[in-house]
Amino acid sequence: MKKILFVLLSIIFLQQLTAQDTSLIYRRLDSIAIIDQKVMMPMRDGVRLATDIYRPKGNAKVPIIFSRTPYNFNTWIDGKMVTGTIQAAYEAVSRGYAYVVQNERGRYFSEGTWDILGTPITDGYDALSWMQKQIWSNGKVGLIGCSSTAEWQMAVASQNHPALAAMVAQGYGAGVGRIGKFNEQGNWYRGGAQQMLFTSWLYGTQNDQYKPTLPKDIKQADLQRLQRFYDMGTEMPRVDWAVGLKHLPVKDIIKNVNGQIGIYDKMIPRKPNDPAWFKGGLYHDNMPFEVPSYWFVSWYDVSSAPNIALFNHVRNNAKKQGVADNQYLVIAPVLHCSYKRATENTIVGERSVGDARLNYDELTWGWFDLLLKGEKNDFKQKNPRVRYYTMGSNKWQAAESFPLPNTKVQNFYLTSEGKANTSNGNGKLVMKPSTTDMPDAFTYDPMNPVPSYGGNVCCTGNAVQGGSYDQSKMELRDDILVYTSDELKEGTEITGFIESTLYVSSTGLDTDITLKLIDVYPDGKAYNLDETIQRLRYRDGYNKEVWMEKGKVYKVDLTPLVTSNYFAAGHKIRIEVSSSNFPRFDRNLNTGGKNYDESKGVIVENKIHHSEKYPSVIKLPIIR
């Protein structure tokens, strides 16, 4: 598992190299850099964090590129030199930067206790202070990372450290707590339902409570010697997560596969409004943010919508105009942290989205040169505020804001003759609500949930493969309601946030409602674009749980989706509605109980109502 996770750090700069190339790049790095590995950087509480430092030879004061990570950046694994850190360091040093990489507290050689999403914000602040004071530092630090190597950046930015001059955050949703309409608590939730990616991810990442530790007074020279043959990393047995995630109760999934005893056990009972979410390293929208930032998002990542919402939040709320003006965004049509894997024929799942390549090195170093070195380069002249990729038309586009200023929101109402079940049913998307209410009913059995097929996901092993897949076979299930527009007479671009309101009744105390947006091709293939879910006990907000009354109709506003897709003439727009998308999200057992500690579910009948009284609708942002 550690070898798989290590790749995430490697892709920040370049692809993996061969063993011969690794030796070559190390010799090149050694010729231009002072290499100082396993520096134990002290935090204010005495805990020391393991840090590798690579800086140009000579006496020049240079800016610093800083990467802090829970992953293994050791340059030696299993007695062999590996590439990620070496290549990243060479790229930075050769461009006149120092490169500093550090493990979060409690990870590998770093001291202390690790807690995903709960690492003290002060660790980042103290690291910035330490680097700022070094005689080789010019006093400016830029942050870079993807996924968990980026998630800590936003909360630390809220501390307004004078040395923090720029950020490059990629796939950073795990650091976003509450932003406007989104209350994901670091990707743990979507609409109050647990995103199960953290179960499989923590199996291979969390520290066991009995993890061996080194003496607190161990010397740097001893750590440098030990790193060549002992890197403090666990080697977890492989798990068939397609089977493992089915185990009930949810709280015992990791225990059931003999996993490590760690923080999963204390996180799984947390509700979306638990105070613990607001005490650690998550960024929430009541916190300041005054750092120029370059944001990288993916259409098929876990949390594209809240990530873009954070970009907008910073632009609209930064107190310094210079900070608001220095927020830039790239949205690529790829999976989580897969920016550099785009090719001239980029395949995301099963769907080709064309040539989605970008020169990410040019973008990143142009940004850092501008803000850390003060170079008068052409970054702002060459790069739009927002660069986004439109699938279907398969092209990069530019805008000054997101959503786009030339957007028309078009309502598409759900309607049917009472039988929208399956793609063979009579569910339609129309411009006006139906004059009569002929609700669509389906049975939701938690023991037979709708399986996740593709989607906006990561980190679930073999349980879910992310991306766009043909949903047409899935749509033959009777517990999926399918609503489809007429064939489009002309091409239509949908770009922006997509809101939806459904009117729901149920025989249960609690249940879930899921929704997918689909592009239907003339040959019948139906490719998923984005998806969402709402746990109905949280339909009135995440500070309280409200149960349902049998047969009563409730208005449900789902968490917004987001995409950019061109529906060519002859295509159709479709949404799917159901009550499960498993194991992308955990199953609602419909009991009204805690769910995470239950093993038996209740079968319920759910209905979607659509009429003038109950105008179930999806609001699509059409680009004029």
- Residue type, position 601, single letter: G
**Residue 544: exposure state from Cβ atoms within 10 A (0-12, 13-18, ≥19):** exposed
Q: Among 144-153, 228-237, 485-494, name the one with the lowest average pLDDT.
A: 228-237
Tell me how far apart the alpha carbons of residues 500 and 545 are, in angstroms, rounded to a whole number.
Answer: 21
DSSP assignment of 3-20: HHHHHHHHTTT-----HH
pTM: 0.95
Instruction: Report the chain's mean pLDDT, rounded to a whole number.
Output: 94
pLDDT of residue 20: 66
Phi, psi of 25 (to 5 degrees): -70, -30
pLDDT in tens, 46-94: 999 999 999 999 999 999 999 999 999 988 766 677 778 999 999 999 9
pLDDT of residue 111: 95
Question: What is the arithmetic mean of pLDDT over 137-145?
Answer: 98
Distance of CA 212 to the CA centre of its chain: 31
Residue 542 neighbours by CB under 8 Å, 6+ apart? 183, 192, 271, 272, 273
pLDDT in tens, 174-193: 999 999 999 999 999 999 99
- DSSP bridge partners of 621: 409
pLDDT of residue 186: 95
Count other Cβ atoms within 10 Å, centred on residue 79.
Answer: 8
Tell me how far apart the alpha carbons of residues 492 and 566 are, in angstroms, rounded to a whole number.
Answer: 6
- DSSP bridge partners of 101: 52, 67
Q: Among 7-16, 32-41, 105-114, 375-384, name the one with the lowest average pLDDT.
A: 7-16
Peptide bond into 451 cis (omega under 30): no
Whether the per-residue pLDDT at 221 is higher than 90: the answer is yes
Whether the per-residue pLDDT at 10 is higher than 70: the answer is no
CATH of 407-623, one of 3.40.50.620, 3.10.105.10, 2.60.40.10, 2.60.120.260: 2.60.120.260
**Residue 444: exposure state from Cβ atoms within 10 A (0-12, 13-18, ≥19):** buried
Task: Tell me 455's DSSP state.
Answer: B
Whether the per-residue pLDDT at 2 is higher than 60: the answer is no
Tell me how far apart the alpha carbons of residues 619 and 497 are, in angstroms, rounded to a whole number.
Answer: 9
Q: How many CA atoms lie within 13 A of 156 on its CB side?
A: 33
Q: How far apart are the first and last CA of the chain?
A: 47
Q: How many CA atoms lie within 13 A of 13 on its CB side?
A: 18
Write out the residue limits of the CATH 3.40.50.1820 domain(s) in the chain: 2-186+282-399
pLDDT of residue 234: 84
pLDDT of residue 472: 98
Q: Taking Cα atoms as reference points, which of 620, 622, 513, 623 lies closest to residue 574?
A: 620
Domain 2-186+282-399 has CATH 3.30.413.10: no
Q: How far is CA 4 from each of CA 9, 535, 542, rounded to the nearest angstrom?
A: 10, 33, 35
145's tokens = 């990372």
DSSP reduced 3-state for 475: helix
Question: What is the arithmetic mean of pLDDT over 427-432?
Answer: 97
pLDDT of residue 77: 67
In the chain, what percentage of residues exceed pLDDT 90? 89
DSSP reduced 3-state for 616: coil
Task: Tell me 372's DSSP state.
Answer: I
Whether the per-residue pLDDT at 409 is higher than 70: the answer is yes
pLDDT of residue 17: 46
Question: What is the arithmetic mean of pLDDT over 23-40?
Answer: 94
Tell me how far apart the alpha carbons of residues 566 and 392 are, in angstroms, rounded to a whole number.
Answer: 5
Write out the residue limits of the CATH 2.60.120.260 domain(s) in the chain: 407-623
Strand 98-103 versus strand 62-69 pairing type:
parallel
